[in-house]
Structure 1
Amino acid sequence: MKKYFSLLIALLLINAGVCVQAQTVDKILNSYFENTGGKAKWNKLNSMIMEGKVEAQGQQFPVKMYNQRPNFQRMEMVFQGKTIVQRAYDGKDAWASNPIAGKTVKLPEEQAKELAEDMFEPAYLNYKTKGHKIVLDGKEEIEGTECNKLKLTKKNGDVEYLFFDTESNVLLMQRTTVKQGPSKGTQIDSFMSDYKEVGGLMIPHALTQKMGTNTFTVTMDKITLNSKIDKSLFSFPKKK
């Protein structure tokens, strides 16, 4: 009988701990959404156009990114006066410019799959309905700021980490890993900063990514929300 009660108490304590952690995770996320415009506005966000510049290895290039629900995307840069599509996805085909060959090419299956899984809506928004799981994984200092570290496990098994400022609950960093190619398994730290209000939402206007010894920074000069985007921008160009 004593064993039974001991086991029962242990199970109750475990369940209580899980419930408290779930409440803490939801509290952090709800506070973040409230501080950045509210869940209702985030749920109504259907498209985003970002214009700015990317800086890498001492060079700077104009950049423009188009994103639209559910996972349409296009990123283009201007290099030596020419527009180069770094990547694009229209829900079916993933493609990019090949400057050397002077034409556009479809990307390998692995890269296409990765772009297909790169959804417009953040994984941590409505994460439960998507089948994802998020747990509190302690605290960690990010560039001098104490952060709550959340571990997000997606429905497909992919794992990423989110770091929210413990005081403001603003997202400061996202940690992922390269999923394919020669750099597979390499950690990528994406730092978000310079939050500004756009259409009622607080959106970071600076993103710095660190992968191994490589670092590049994207600075946004203009962000447009919910504007109509011509779907042909995402589509693989037809041969003329």
Structure 2
Amino acid sequence: MSFFYLLLVTSLFLYRADAGTLSDPEPLTVDSLMERHARAMGGTKAWLRLKSWVITQQRTNGTVIAYAKKPDKFRLDFQLSGRTVTKSYDGKTGWLVVNGTYEAMRPGEAIEMAEEPDFYGELIYAYQRRDAMQVLPSEQLNGHWCYRLELTKSPTDKQWYWLNAETYLIEQTAEYSEDPAHDGILYKTIFEDYRAVDGLMFPRREGLIANDQAPRMWTLDDIQLHRRIPNKFFRYRP
């Protein structure tokens, strides 16, 4: 065997051995993948203890403040096209206030808001609930390999996740909107540049892609965990 042939074989072996970037990652069961994901996110117990969070998002059209209280209370305060808007879900009803005036919220919009408190640790919570999950064939995303996971919350609600094969953190999610106004739109959420906040992993930047449109990106400027938020903060009465 010549030196150059040996060098070529060695190079090809190293190329395939560089798991997570150049070679297809090792097959994992749902249990093994979720164990690694939860550990990378800061641990299952720490996420289950998290009962509330407040996140300030810096977007191109202004600042958005998101308030979440588990299991299903969620509120957004933001400025949009000269309007001051508050969207809130109090656990039973969705509320929409535009420039101080109450408006009806679409049923699908309220359903989506009910899921937001678990948004960052949603896979951990879904696994604890024993929602149906399956590992799909791995794919390359942004130049590296990702595990693909399918989550079935209900017969009409499926979501897909791409987990980085090196870090086991979520790179991207995808789901069809449950809001009738957005019927048929596949929304993808991008997560970039994770960092630890009180031991739990949150992205510094997020983005949203609607079908094949260019992503809209924003920065998570401030994250506060375990805030005491009264229940009435999420409720409005016309």
Q: TM-score, normalised by structure 1?
A: 0.79
Shift of 1:171: 0.9
Structure 2 CA distance for aligned equivalents of residues 92 and 182 of structure 1: 20
Aligned position for 1:162: 161
Shift of 1:49: 0.2
Tell me if structure 1 keeps the 8 A contact 2:34–2:127: no
List alignment gaps of at least 5 residues for structure 2.
Answer: 1-26
More displaced stretch, 76-85 vs 136-145: 76-85
- Read off the aligned partner of 2:234 and give its amino acid letter: F
Q: Quote the RMSD (CA, aligned, Å).
A: 2.2
Shift of 1:97: 2.2
Q: Where in structure 2 are the equivalents of 1:60-99 lying within 5 Å?
A: 60-79=61-80, 83-85=84-86, 87-99=87-99
- Structure 1 residue corresponding to 2:34, chosen from 20, 26, 29: 29
Structure 1 CA distance for aligned equivalents of residues 178 and 82 of structure 2: 32
* Structure 1 residues 172 and 70, CA gap change in structure 2 (3 angstroms): same
- Read off the aligned partner of 1:54 and give its amino acid letter: R
Tell me if structure 1 keeps the 8 A contact 2:131–2:151: yes
Residue 39 of structure 2 aligns to a residue in which SS? helix
Structure 2 CA distance for aligned equivalents of residues 115 and 183 of structure 1: 14
Structure 1 CA distance for aligned equivalents of residues 195 and 94 of structure 2: 31
Structure 2 CA distance for aligned equivalents of residues 205 and 180 of structure 1: 27
Aligned position for 2:107: 109
Structure 1 CA distance for aligned equivalents of residues 109 and 73 of structure 2: 14
- Structure 2 residue corresponding to 1:44, chosen from 41, 49, 53: 49
Q: Does residue 171 of the first structure (1) align with residue 176 of the second (2)?
A: no
Post-superposition CA distance 1:110-137 (Å, at most 9, x none): 3333333555364422435524111111
Aligned position for 1:10: none
Tell me if structure 2 keeps the 8 A contact 1:47–1:226: yes
* Structure 1 residues 110 and 72, CA gap change in structure 2 (3 angstroms): same
Tell me if structure 2 keeps the 8 A contact 1:68–1:120: no
Structure 1 CA distance for aligned equivalents of residues 107 and 178 of structure 2: 13
Post-superposition CA distance 1:45-65 (Å, at most 9, x none): 10010012123xxxx301100
* Structure 1 residues 105 and 178, CA gap change in structure 2 (3 angstroms): same
Q: Does residue 54 of the first structure (1) align with residue 54 of the second (2)?
A: no
Q: TM-score, normalised by structure 2?
A: 0.79
Q: Does residue 235 of the first structure (1) align with residue 235 of the second (2)?
A: yes
Shift of 1:83: 3.7
- Read off the aligned partner of 1:68 and give its amino acid letter: K
Q: Where in structure 2 are the equivalents of 1:127-146 lying within 5 Å?
A: 127-146=126-145
Sequence identity (%):
22
Shift of 1:109: 2.6
- Read off the aligned partner of 1:50 and give its amino acid letter: I
